[in-house]
Amino acid sequence: MGSKALFFFFFSFFALASFLAWTASAENDQEGPGLVMNFYKDSCPQAEDVIKEQVKLLYKRHKNTAFSWLRNIFHDCAVQSCDASLLLDSTRRSLSEKEMDRSFGMRNFRYIETIKEALERECPGVVSCADILVLSGREGIVSLGGPYIPLKTGRRDGRKSRAEILEQYLPDHNESMSVVLERFGAIGIDTPGVVALLGAHSVGRTHCVKLVHRLYPEVDPALNPDHVGHMLYKCPDAIPDPKAVQYVRNDRGTPMILDNNYYRNILDNKGLMLVDHQLAVDKRTKPFVKKMAKSQNYFFKEFSRAITILSENNPLTGSQGEIRKQCSLANKLH
């Protein structure tokens, strides 16, 4: 190979290498620095305080909002990305995740808009609905007596609903424990983390639609007989009206407190849904159930770790996605 040809070869090689390096750098710039603590410290320093105060105000007026804040994290972040796709309303082209069967009983989305409006008054076009969803969930956990969890921010909002793939990611209350562990495992949450996340069933209530199969036509023999009478009283119909106010409290002892009483209940066969019962008897999960029943500190530690992992699942950052003006609508529809 002549000297000119050799020079051309090396010049071409280094030019190609430089181009590939520049391309990789550009792609990373698109993604941005990722999630960080106190992302809004310069662009909207009061953002987290505004969310905290709004959640406190709303909780004083409507106690059940706290359950909604907590449930939002699971239903949004477990489905492919933590990008507030859950909050999008249906359009002519796509169905909202909120209208799917797996989202049955979810409500209070309008209060996310209340928080968004408060933030828009302070810092227009800065704070994403995805971060509002996660941070309101964090404050909801605190309102219910749970641990304060330091969470990163910097998420951006997605532009499309994921209703068509929802069931591939969100386990149903009747799924086998293998499916539940597999779905959560796919996003990095291990077995003690799954056990802790299901401890969210310590608060709130379950609609009769979700548990009548354990009561009719015959009572599930695995249920504690002392608990069956109360369940039948609350759910007197084998085919309940989904719109009727027919619920059973998840934890009759401390229904408004996120605590480890849930684990004592399910070990005593008082879990309402099949997944609660399976959690207490499956050999993979039972040891952690027993450990959490004994130690609230251990429950809170694993719960905090699992919520953190969930909240960081595949977020949009940098210039990806958008900052919605209204949480229920993608900007292009304004």
Are β-strands 205-207 and 247-249 bridged in parallel, bridged antiparallel, or unpaired?
A: antiparallel
Q: Encoding tokens for residue 317?
A: 């950052």
Backbone angles phi, psi at 271, to 5 degrees: -70, 135
Annotated binding site for Ca(2+): 76, 79, 83, 85, 97, 251, 254, 259
C-alpha 308/C-alpha 285 separation (Å) is 20
Q: Please, what's the largest Cα pairwise distance for the chain?
A: 93
Q: Please confirm, yes or no, whether 75 is among the known catalytic residues.
A: yes
Cβ-contact 84, 130 below 8 angstroms: yes
* Binding-site entries for heme b: 201
Question: In whole angstroms, what is the distance from residue 174 CA to residue 209 CA?
Answer: 12
Tokens of 184: 């959560």
Neighbours of 26 (CB within 10 A): 9
Selected catalytic residue, list 75, 173, 207, 277? 75
* Phi, then psi, of 85 in degrees rounded to 5: -65, -30
Q: Which residue has the tokens 């796919």?
A: 186
- The binding site for substrate consists of 171
Q: How many C-beta atoms surround the C-beta of residue 199 within 10 A?
A: 26
> What are the structure tokens assigned to 216, written together?
């009719």
What's the CA gap between 260 and 196, in Å, rounded?
Answer: 9
DSSP sequence for 228-293: HHHHHHH---SS--TTS--EEES-SSSTTS-STHHHHHHHTT--SSHHHHHHHH-TTTHHHHHHHH
**Nearest Cα residue to 134 out of 114, 149, 145:** 149
Annotated binding residues, as ranges?
76, 79, 83, 85, 97, 171, 201, 251, 254, 259
Active site residues: 75
